Amino acid sequence: MSEFCRVSLKPLRTKSVSGANSAQLKSFVDGSKASLDLPFSRKDFFENGRKYVEGISISGVQQKLSLIIKEDAFKPTDVGGRYILKPSPEAFPNAAENEHTAMKISNVLGFRTADCALAKFTDGEYAYICKRFDRELNEKNIVIQHHQEDLLQCMNLVSESKYILSYEEAGRTLLEVTRNNLLVASDYVNRIIFAYLIGNDDLHLKNFSVIRFESSKTHYYDKLAPNYDCLFCEEYTGGQGYLALDLLANGEDDSLLINYQYYGYYTGYDFIVFAERLGVVSKIVEAFIKLIGKKIPMIESLIKNSFMPDTMKDNSTELIKNRFRALQILTEHAS
């Protein structure tokens, strides 16, 4: 039995329920008595939940199940689900534990991040469970739904186009739909740096969403939705590429990034160039990289406490160390 909380990855306290500290679990299940120990098996998930199951990413093979808390237990639903359950695909073992760890690191680095935990099937296998952020309970305990679109939808493109544009082109669209909100653009830039840090080379345009709150009086979006779908993807892809998309637009294939061309990998300076093309000042990038440095011990602790296999823990820790060293290069290489 693990000694760490399946919500927060902090050490378990004396009073814990289904492998989670009571306070963190209570918050995650909205004050109900639901347990993270699911009342069905992985086999049941695929056999009996087919009418609820939908295909989603890691290469389109991962599946998810919409859940609702009913009678103090998580149960499948096709209407009004507040939670999403994702088991690890056979092709990507321990993806649930991997994603949970990456999401907790996202929290540590100050990103608004979807609430998540590790549920457990009756056969003992873990599954990633996430609370939907487009549906929230208000002070009267009534579910309200915020309007949300991913960047691909904002650009009127089909799902098959999620890899064809650059982060800069998508960033320009983000500025348009948020009325040139540079705080949102700064958040966007830092999320891409975070993806680079953890080897998330599948951060495509469907993995960024914007939200317009119910109280909004304009047609512009208010901010990026909380971070979601964060994984140490290199564990499965073998490091085929540093990022899912090019940073720069106009078909330049990042050829203007002098450091990237010289070193063969992205440095902090390359992200500064990218950020400035979106109107985000270099100090934003520098401050975020400095924050990463301060949080490295906490990040390493989360990885150590995680439910990932030891080899995956070691690989993730080493990857972050290498990427952080690259991010610390903040000046242009002299030709």
Where in the sequence numbering do the catalytic residues fall? 202
Task: Give 153-218 as a DSSP string.
Answer: HHTT--GGGTTTS-HHHHHHHHHHHTTS-HHHHHHHHHHHHHHHHHT-TT--GGG-EEEE-TT--S
Q: d(Cα 52, Cα 44) in Å, to the nearest integer?
A: 12
Cα torsion 8, 201, 129, 311 to 10°: value is -60
Q: Which of 308, 335, 306, 303 is nearest to 319 (CA)?
A: 303
Q: In which residue are the tokens 């972050």 written?
A: 320
Cα separations (Å) of 19 from 7, 16, 70, 101, 323? 9, 6, 21, 16, 32
Question: Nearest-CA neighbor of 99 among 86, 82, 83?
Answer: 86
Q: Can you state the percent helix, strand and coil of the chain, rounding each to 5?
A: 40, 15, 45
- CB count within 10 Å of CB 73 equals 17
Distance CA 327, CA 125 (A): 36
188: Cα within 13 Å, side-chain hemisphere: 34
**Measured on CA atoms in the order 308, 200, 299, 114, is the torsion positive or negative?**
negative
